[in-house]
Amino acid sequence: MTAPLDLKAYLAQQENKSFLRFLTCGSVDDGKSTLIGRLLYDSKLLFEDHLSALEKDSKKFGTDGENIDFALLVDGLEAEREQGITIDVAYRFFATDKRKFIVADTPGHEQYTRNMATGASNSDLAVVLIDARKGVLTQSRRHSYICSLLGIRHIVLAVNKIDLVGFNQVIFDDIVKDYRAFAENLGFASLVPIPISARYGDNVISRSPRMPWYQGPALLDHLNTVDAESDLAARPFRMPVQWVNRPNLDFRGFSGTIASGAVRPGDAVVVAGSGRTSTVARIVTYDGDLDEASAGDAVTLCLADEIDVSRGDVLAPAAARPEVSDQFSAHMLWMAEDELLPGRQYLLKVGAKTVPAQVTELKHKVDVNTFEHLAAKTLHLNEVGYGNVSLTMPIAFDPYRDNRDTGGFILIDRFTNATVAAGMIDFGLRRATNVHWQALDVHKRARAGLNHQKPAVLWFTGLSGSGKSTIANLVEKALFAEGRHTYILDGDNVRHGLNRDLGFTDADRVENIRRVGETAKLFVDAGLIVLVSFISPFRSERRMARELLAPGEFIEIFVDTPIEECMRRDPKGLYEKAVAGEIANFTGISSPYELPETAEMVVKTQGRTPQDCATEIVRFLKKRDIVP
Amino acid sequence: MHSTRHSHLKRLEAESIHIIREVAAEFRNPVMLYSIGKDSGVMLHLALKAFHPSKPPFPLMHVDTTWKFRDMIKFRDETASRLGLELIVYTNQDGVKRGINPFDSGSSLHTQVMKTEALKQALDKYGFDAAFGGARRDEEKSRAKERVFSFRNAQHAWDPKSQRPELWRVYNTRVNKGESIRVFPLSNWTELDIWQYTMMEKLPIVPLYFAARRPVVMRDGAMIMVDDERMPLKQGETPEMKMVRFRTLGCYPLTGAVESSAVTLEEIVAEMFTARTSERQGRVIDHDENASMEKKKKEGYF
């Protein structure tokens, strides 16, 4: 057993090792998992029980005959072992005398690109594997592009399976040349090509005698010495406030992790969103107050003044503030099966802040093979695009290239709660900071008072042919007869004018509803009761329209008619055409209708006259005090 | 993105604190699963640090199978009262009534009923929408694949094939009613890190981690400690006093001891450097079947 003195020295050495997080990526079957298995095995980091399990597994699942299949060390999921592929990212830990490593082994299949991005987002270096027999493939390019997008600056180009091409230098050189040609625009600070055989260990831990022509370092030597450190500590101070610490009336602190820069007691700071300033009074930790805290530290700051600070605010130096805006342009990697719908409301989370957001304009998507910009109206799973994002309120942020913590965001679907996109902010849009709301003297309440009614939107939703327009028409007639001020926005009529440029794709339907929602809002502002008669098949868009208005102003009326009945009525002959395949994206036939879950009123039409339905609605409006 | 100005453990500590704070800030009703072991001890200590000078704004919960080592229960109650924290102890009473135990029911059924089912019952009973666990990615292959914020559906099941992407330290904490998230603040810690940190921070640990003369019997290649009179001895089995300690703690009939002379933290760490087997090797439940842990996790096990 080691003497205690040696142990102390050993532990001190452990503590002071430098640290590198990297990922392995590249196309499927290029040997990523095998390489990591080899690194763990050769650096003697495997326990005996792990080894014996590996030997057992190799016999059962192994793809390498009698030999140990190192990939089985990291492919930990049952489905992965059965299929011999990597589905999700695995994190493994190992250390050398100099460094500790966390390596993310990421999947090569295009289908699982989002898992590769997960691994890349926290890495400082990428080992891109290439099969020497196949050369640079689409996935090699895709992964390199995503690494670049996520801000990775250091690349190792590991040309693997070099044994299978007879350790041929010409093949190696050609692949390196190919790779450099496309990678030169990806902004990598270092690119180190190494010929390896992960299976046999050539140039992995030490230089291989089988490739005397190769003069560079073995992979592990390079990982041990590469300087992949960022200069985060030298950048301006940023701390997104995670949690307001208030144990009693005498203490109010702001807890968070410092994203960049450093802070000392006495430093002047500004709450980026509100512009209020104060100075740092104390840096509080469980282990006592600190004289200084810097990037990466999780601390609690007390300020000298009682100013309003809450979760999601960003503390920064007054002289080097982050941008504050409700619009910015960003790169986005789409990670959901459901396509991006510009205009749809998602939740955006950046740092500790979550706000409703929409992609207002998609400028282009990127062809990962040629890096060409292609026109796009939407993004599908694993596609990368660039566009404008608009928020319901301004937030503080930095460009992603300056700060991953304050410039990287995710988009969340409001219904499924799935993480649908990763975004990298490029820059804030000036327009947002310069267009201010015009304050008007005659306001909504005044106009409504003159009309003796509460302005509201009656939002009729339902299938085509359900009776929405007929009923809305009768309701308007009844209200008009009582002297109310009303207006009808009808789906078909609006599509002849305001929305003439829109078709019936999902993306266009979202924009259709957005415009109608905004128009209805203006009419409500004018004091009117607005009757909107739109199929509006998606919950998200109905919710978006609802959220444009004040509470109580939006009355969703679900005109509930079974599709069989709508098809029987078929007033415009549309179902017949849709069933015959002559109309694409027809709601109920080839495009979904999502049933309302929060409708204020459900009006069943079957076996009733439209007049009967209209009378029921007017009665409801009186009960709600919309009309006297 | 990572600065080397900080020591390794300080870096891990800050990362975990960030995760713990995020849960407190975003969830309606979180809970910290406290299993009394060394990892739970570190996790709890990190929670104290995260909210200082406030107390952690969530209770601790221990799912008690009634087969834990007696020393563990004592340590658990002392810890909660010393720190003044709320402690929920939950036992699957239905399992107790059915007489489920590790000897007659087998380790697999016992774990299923008294741990997995019990945990699900407890989470449902209190309506917790987030539960911290002290699992580490270096423990086991399927753990290495799991997110820090790991989504569970309303049936508490994990779907390893469609995990939410998890970028940077931006965690998606959104769940619908009935759904929950298991959160693993120690994801990136290794066993060595846990011991070094325990030493650095002088954290109290259950005495069972230190070597002492204890009564043990050999069963299926594992040294099982006879912790109380409920353990039925097989024909020819006589408990032997041996100098042993435990690398992990769980239900005493399912936890194998190792022979050791390590009576200080320093000696435990020193022993680790010469260890040739992983800590989970002493756990009977992991060897039950292939991909055992993944299967249990899909069913709701932590």
Q: Which two tokens stand for residue B271?
A: 């022993």
Confidence grade of residue B268 (pLDDT, cut at 50, 70, 90): confident
- Alpha-carbon distances, residue B221 vs A49, A136, B139, B180, B213 (angstroms): 13, 51, 21, 38, 19
Contact with chain B for residue A240, Cβ under 8 A = no
By Cβ distance, the residue of A91, A121, A352 closest to B167 is: A121
User: What would the two tokens of residue A539 be?
Assistant: 């919950």
Q: How confident is the model at residue A1 (pLDDT cuts 50, 70, 90)?
A: very low
Task: Give the gap in angstroms from C-alpha B164 to the nearest C-alpha of chain A.
Answer: 6
CATH level 3 topology of A15-225: Rossmann fold (3.40.50)
Which residues on A lie below 8 Å from B161 (Cβ)? 77, 79, 87-88
CB contact under 8 A, A87 and B50: no
Measured distance CA(A25)–CA(A126) in Å, rounded: 7
- Cβ contact A294:A260 at 8 Å: no
At the topology level, CATH places domain A444-623 in Rossmann fold (3.40.50)
Question: Using CA atoms, how far apart are residues A340 and B200, in angstroms rounded to an integer?
Answer: 49
| Token couple for A415 | 């219904």
Indicate the length of chain A as a whole number: 628
- The 8-class DSSP code of residue B165 comes to P
Q: Give the A window 536-565 contacts with B, CB below 8 Å.
A: none
Residue among B166, B270, B291 whose CB faces A118 most closely:
B166
Tokens read off for A563: 């599709």
C-alpha neighbours within 13 Å on the C-beta side of residue A355: 22
Q: How close is the nearest chain B Cα to the Cα of A244, in Å? A: 9
Distance from CA of A18 to the nearest CA of B (A): 6
pLDDT for the residue numbered A74: 64
Percentage of chain A modeled with pLDDT above 90: 46
Query: Which among A41, A80, A43, A86 is positioned nearest to A61, based on CA atoms?
Result: A80
> How many of the other CB atoms lie within 10 Å of CB of A245?
23
B163 CA: distance to closest CA in chain A (Å) = 8
User: Are A90 and B170 within 8 A, CB to CB?
Assistant: no
- pLDDT, one tens digit per residue, over A563-590 is 888 888 888 888 888 888 888 888 888 8
Distance CA A199, CA A218 (A): 15
CATH topology for the A323-431 domain? Elongation Factor Tu (Ef-tu); domain 3 (2.40.30)
Please compute the mean of the pLDDT values over residues A519-541 and round it to a whole number. Answer: 88
Active site residues of A: 536
**Residue-wise pLDDT tens digits, A379-417:** 999 999 999 999 988 999 999 999 999 999 999 998 899
- pLDDT tens-digit readout, B33-91: 999 999 999 999 999 999 999 999 999 999 999 989 999 999 999 999 999 999 999 99
Helix (DSSP H) and strand (DSSP E) numbers for chain B: 9, 10
B128 pLDDT more than 50 = yes
Secondary structure of residue B132 in the 3-state scheme: strand
Q: Min CA distance, B122 vs chain A (Å)?
A: 24
Q: Distance (Å, rounded) from C-alpha B60 to C-alpha B73?
A: 14
| A433 vs B: CB within 8 A | no
pLDDT, position A253: 96
Contacts of A532 (CB under 8 A, 6+ apart): A457, A458, A459, A460, A472, A488, A489, A516, A520, A545
SS3 for A325? Answer: strand
CA atoms A135, A139, A143, A146: torsion sign: positive
Best CA proximity match to A163, nearest among A205, A137, A199: A199
CA distance A383 to A333: 6
Q: What distance in Å separates residue A377's CA from the closest CA in chain B? A: 24
Q: Quick check: helix, strand or coil at residue A622? A: helix
Give the alpha-carbon dihedral of A307, A311, A313, A314, to 10 degrees: 110
Is any Cβ of chain A less than 8 angstroms from the Cβ of B162?
A: no
Which three-class secondary structure state does DSSP give residue B153?
coil
Q: Does B25 reach chain A within 8 Å, measured CB to CB?
A: yes
User: In this structure, what DSSP letter does residue A11 have?
Assistant: H
Distance between CA B258 and CA B252 in Å, rounded? 13
Q: Give pTM, 2 decimals.
A: 0.79
Residue with tokens 């960049």: A260
Mean of the per-residue pLDDT values of chain A: 87
Shortest CA distance from B22: residue in chain A: A242
CA distance A100 to A13: 11
Q: What is the mean pLDDT of residues B214-232?
A: 88
Task: Please report residues of A whose CB lies closer than 8 A to that of B51.
Answer: 243, 245, 255
Q: Tell me the average pLDDT across B143-161.
A: 87
Query: Cβ–Cβ of A246/B271 closer than 8 Å?
Result: no
Interface touch A88/B145, C-beta < 8 Å: yes
Residues 6 or more apart in contact with residue B43 via CB below 8 angstroms: B16, B32, B34, B132, B134, B185, B186
Q: How many beta-carbon pairs below 8 A join chains A and B? A: 211
**In the 8-state DSSP scheme, what is residue A596?**
P
Pairwise CA distance, residues A238 & A405, whole Å: 9
3-state secondary structure of B232: coil
Report DSSP state, residue A331: E
Residues from chain B that touch A20, judged by Cβ atoms under 8 A, are 2
User: Is the CB of residue A465 less than 8 Å from the CB of residue A608?
Assistant: no
Q: Which of A305-309, A429-433, A497-501 has the lowest mean pLDDT?
A: A429-433
C-alpha count within 13 angstroms, C-beta hemisphere, residue A60: 13
Residue A423: phi and psi, rounded to 5, are -125, 145
> Looking at per-residue confidence, does A60 or A304 come out higher?
A304
Q: What's residue B278's pLDDT?
A: 62
The pLDDT of residue A76 is 64
Residues of B in contact with A256 (CB under 8 A): 21
Give the Cα separation of A502 and A520 in Å (integer): 18
Query: Which tokens is A447 given?
Result: 């106009």
Count helices and strands (H / E) in chain A. Answer: 19, 27
Judged by DSSP in three states, A171 sits in helix
Please state the rounded mean pLDDT for residues B240-249: 92
CATH number of A232-317: 2.40.30.10
Q: Are A350 and A397 in contact (CB under 8 A)?
A: yes
Q: How open is the CA angle B290-A34-A189, to the nearest 5 degrees?
A: 135
Q: Which helix (H) or strand (E) holds A269?
A: strand A268-271
On the question of a common fold for A15-225 and A323-431, the answer reads no
pLDDT per residue over A76-122, tens digit each?
666 666 666 677 788 888 888 889 899 998 887 778 888 889 999 99
Which run of H or of E encompasses B301? none
- The pairing of beta strand A419-428 with beta strand A323-334: antiparallel
* Per-window interface: A 597-626 vs B, CB < 8 A: none
- What per-residue confidence (pLDDT) applies to A440? 57
Percent with pLDDT over 70 in chain B: 91
Does the CB of A43 have a partner CB in chain B at under 8 Å? no
Using a CB-CB cut-off of 8 Å, the residues of chain B touching A298 are 13-15, 17-18, 21, 50
Phi, psi dihedrals of residue A591, rounded to the nearest 5°: -145, 140
Q: Residue B159: is its pLDDT beyond 70?
A: yes
- Per residue in A336-378, pLDDT tens? 999 998 888 999 999 999 999 999 989 999 988 788 899 999 9
Of A131 and A87, more confident:
A131
Best of B167, B196, B297 to disrupt the A interface (most A CBs within 10 Å) is B167
Contact by Cβ (8 Å): A604, A495? no
Give the separation between CA A554 and CA A614, rounded to whole angstroms.
18
User: What six digits make up the tokens of B212?
Assistant: 């002492």
DSSP code of B251? B
β strands within B109-253, DSSP E: 130-132, 149-152, 180-183, 212-219, 222-225, 240-245
Contacts of residue A327, defined as CB under 8 A and 6 or more positions apart, other chains included, come to A360, A388, A389, A390, A391, A428, A429, A431, A432
Domain definitions of chain A by residue range: 15-225, 232-317, 323-431, 444-623
The answer to whether the CB atoms of B141 and A243 lie below 8 A apart is no
